[in-house]
Structure 1
Amino acid sequence: MTRFPLLSRLAAAGLALALAVLPARADDTLKLAVGARGNWDTVVPAIGQKAGIFKKHGLDLEILYTQGGGETLQAVITGGVDIGIAAGTTAVLSAFVKGAPVRILLGGTTGSGDLYWYVPAGSPITSLKEAAGKTAGYSTNGASTHTTLLKLLRHYDSQAKPVATGASPATYTQVMSQQIDIGWASPPFGLEQLDDGKIRLIARGSDVPATRDQTVRVHIVNSTALAQKAEAIKRFVAGYRETYEWLYSAPEAMSSFSEIAGVSPKLSARIRDEFMPKPAMNPDMVSGLGSLMDEALALKALPRVLSEKDLDEVVRGPKWKL
């Protein structure tokens, strides 16, 4: 009479053991291209991964670092990655107009006060206006450093020659070895050199008044990946927003950034407070598109102004405004 209950208990125990040894469901993997490693505005995925936030959303991020927004955009367009972090907004809009499979997933950076241009301490150059015939660096074609430099040269009526120099460290080497005259950088890179008097700042992106309300960098997604991995990408957006809030509220976030960027906590706080306040990184808004497109047309960086229908199609996540 007790035989069948015993068998039932043994069967249940066997099932429990079998379930225990089954591997847990693997997290979904998303591939990211991220420009400017260690910058405050590009570090959200790495910080969120380190803090376990994306893991909590069932995601494993494979992060590929690029030399700038132009390379990031190309990696997304070709489908080599699913998501691109910090691509130049003008270049993204231009690529979309030309039929590229790219959409805006999140707002990146509004304003360009974090970008600055500098010369060695001993250089006679004191402003872009007096830099006729001199070379001025930017990261990659189509990056926000490229379009911002073009706006600065137009604003100052400068005849300096723009040159693609890659990421901040490579640019610094070229400046200090006199391969180019004027370099670009974005915090944290260069702040210690500025404080030590090795270089002098001669221009900031915010010198052009119109850029202050423009979202100059955005986070983008390949449109095929958006269709095929919609649920995972939705969780990425949730994880990004959570990390963004954590970055500006949790004390331990500052030490996490310091470790990733290789800078002191004091310098990290300066970067946040002086160059990248929380509103500048709002992921849910892309603003200033009207003036941004008008300037891009004047600079021949955009073939035409996008209609509201176009903007509704290309801006998929955040709200947008002209």
Structure 2
Amino acid sequence: MKLVRTFKPAAAGLLLALAFASATASAVNLTVTHWADGMYGAPFAVALEKGYFKEAGVDVTGFITSQGGGTTVRNAMASEIPYGEVALPAAIAAVKQGVDLTIVHGGVLSLADIYWVAKAGSPLASINDLKGKKLGYSSPKSVTDMVSTIALSKAGILNDVQRKAAGSSAAALTALREGGLDVIYATEPMYSREKASLKMVIRSTDLVPSATQTVGVVRTDYLKKNPGIIKAIIAARRKGVEFIQKNPAEAGEIMAKHYKMPADVAKAAINEILAAKGTYWSTGKLDYEGMNTMLAGLTLVKAVEPGPFDWNKIVDESQLPADQRK
């Protein structure tokens, strides 16, 4: 007599769980732009500290980073899990260069971490005061290049302000202190660390209310084969964002631990961002208006060629929870 084995539903479910666990058993690092330097990584720090990644079935032990741009995208695409939260401009540039990646979730949806500052005691108090002054942005075709171009154009003084590429925030701060620049960009958490010697002149959110800075991307072939892993990462990151919103003080302690910075600085940076207009950290939802704003700005500074851009060809919302989809 032939023996036929059957699996009960519970046993089948256990086998599926074991299969998923084995696929993600090895410890992995995820790619996050400007990790331990910018605010983009705060939800990931919380998710790691609180065990949200392991709860979701992904054993994340650390993060790979860079100073942004195409390097971060390349790091992400070459990783064991070819996923990363990267700058939207870098993702757009990579797609235009033929990289087969897919945008799977929203990251940072506003410019609430970017300010324009002068030295403490400066008479400068608004954008109109910048006429005839020297302003420092990070680098050509960057987000700070875009924001300053849009803002000064709206004020009608673009040609009356001497804009200079100042490099890193540390280099820009040195130029400001030495008198080489009158106003510079400042990002969190650097601003919260140095604000005793600085004067806020402009908040970027007052000039450009909605602009998507970062998105979650994954190599398309990997997404097709491992959708569950990407879904798990999105879920863990969401819990990290929600924890920051409900527990900003504890989140600041966690961020300080992982970023190796004073807790008061991390807490101040989080509070500044949560107090700003609009949504900074997305719980996954994509802001297409903000993505189009960023695209238009990048076209303005000639970072991308003008013309239509079909988000539908590179966006896949299927791994987002139902309440986070368009």
Task: Determine the structure 1 residue equivalent to 2:315.
Answer: 315
1:37-186 alignment runs, 5 A limit: 37-56=36-55, 57-69=57-69, 71-76=71-76, 82-87=82-87, 89-121=88-120, 127-129=126-128, 130=130, 132=132, 134-138=134-138, 143-156=142-155, 157-158=157-158, 159-163=161-165, 165-166=167-168, 168-178=169-179, 180-186=181-187
Partners of 2:242 and 2:283 within 8 A in 1:
no
CA distance in 2, matches of 1:177, 1:80: 45
Which of residues 223, 239, 258 in structure 2 aligns to 1:242? 239
Q: TM-score, normalised by structure 2?
A: 0.72
Structure 1 counterpart of 2:233, which letter? F
For 1:10-50, what per-residue CA distance to the aligned partner results, in whole angstroms no more than 9, with x for missing partners?
xxxxxxxxxxxxx9x83352431321525443211122112
- How far 1:180 moved relative to its partner? 4.5
2:204 equivalent to 1:202 = no
Q: Which ranges in structure 2 are unaligned for 5 or more consecutive residues? A: 1-21
2:281 equivalent to 1:271 = no
CA distance in 2, matches of 1:36, 1:143: 18
Task: Go from structure 1 to structure 2 and tell me whether the alpha carbon gap of 1:134 and 1:71 turns closer, same or farther (over 3 Å shift).
Answer: farther
Secondary structure of 2:275's counterpart equals: helix
Partners of 1:118 and 1:182 within 8 A in 2:
yes
- How far 1:257 moved relative to its partner? 2.9
Task: Go from structure 1 to structure 2 and tell me whether the alpha carbon gap of 1:258 and 1:291 turns closer, same or farther (over 3 Å shift).
Answer: closer
Which of residues 289, 302, 305 in structure 1 aligns to 2:304? 302
CA distance in 2, matches of 1:135, 1:29: 41
Percent of aligned pairs with the same amino acid: 19
Partners of 2:34 and 2:67 within 8 A in 1:
yes
Which of residues 248, 253, 256 in structure 2 aligns to 1:255? 253
CA distance in 2, matches of 1:143, 1:222: 24
Partners of 1:188 and 1:271 within 8 A in 2:
no
State the superposition RMSD in angstroms: 3.5
- How far 1:228 moved relative to its partner? 5.4
Task: Go from structure 1 to structure 2 and tell me whether the alpha carbon gap of 1:170 and 1:219 turns closer, same or farther (over 3 Å shift).
Answer: farther
For 1:196-247, what per-residue CA distance to the aligned partner results, in whole angstroms no more than 9, with x for missing partners?
2x11222221232xx3233233233333543455432232112112222222
Structure 2 counterpart of 1:118, which letter? V
Q: Which ranges in structure 1 are unaligned for 5 or more consecutive residues? A: 1-22
1:223-242 alignment runs, 5 A limit: 223-227=220-224, 229-242=226-239
Structure 2 counterpart of 1:97, which letter? K
Task: Go from structure 1 to structure 2 and tell me whether the alpha carbon gap of 1:93 and 1:269 turns closer, same or farther (over 3 Å shift).
Answer: closer
Task: Determine the structure 2 residue equivalent to 1:287.
Answer: 288
Secondary structure of 2:272's counterpart equals: helix
User: Which range moves more in the overlay, 106-115 or 30-39?
Assistant: 30-39
Structure 2 counterpart of 1:303, which letter? E
Structure 2 counterpart of 1:245, which letter? E
CA distance in 1, matches of 2:113, 2:198: 16
CA distance in 1, matches of 2:232, 2:267: 33
Structure 2 counterpart of 1:134, which letter? K
Secondary structure of 2:209's counterpart equals: helix
Secondary structure of 2:302's counterpart equals: coil
Task: Go from structure 1 to structure 2 and tell me whether the alpha carbon gap of 1:153 and 1:64 turns closer, same or farther (over 3 Å shift).
Answer: farther
Secondary structure of 2:64's counterpart equals: strand
CA distance in 2, matches of 1:295, 1:268: 26
- How far 1:295 moved relative to its partner? 3.9
For 1:116-153, what per-residue CA distance to the aligned partner results, in whole angstroms no more than 9, with x for missing partners?
01122365655555354724122x55553343233223
CA distance in 2, matches of 1:148, 1:82: 30
For 1:32-85, what per-residue CA distance to the aligned partner results, in whole angstroms no more than 9, with x for missing partners?
132152544321112211221112223224412322455434534676982332
- How far 1:248 moved relative to its partner? 2.0
Count of residues in correspondence between the two structures: 289
Secondary structure of 1:242's counterpart equals: helix
2:218 equivalent to 1:217 = no
Q: TM-score, normalised by structure 1?
A: 0.73
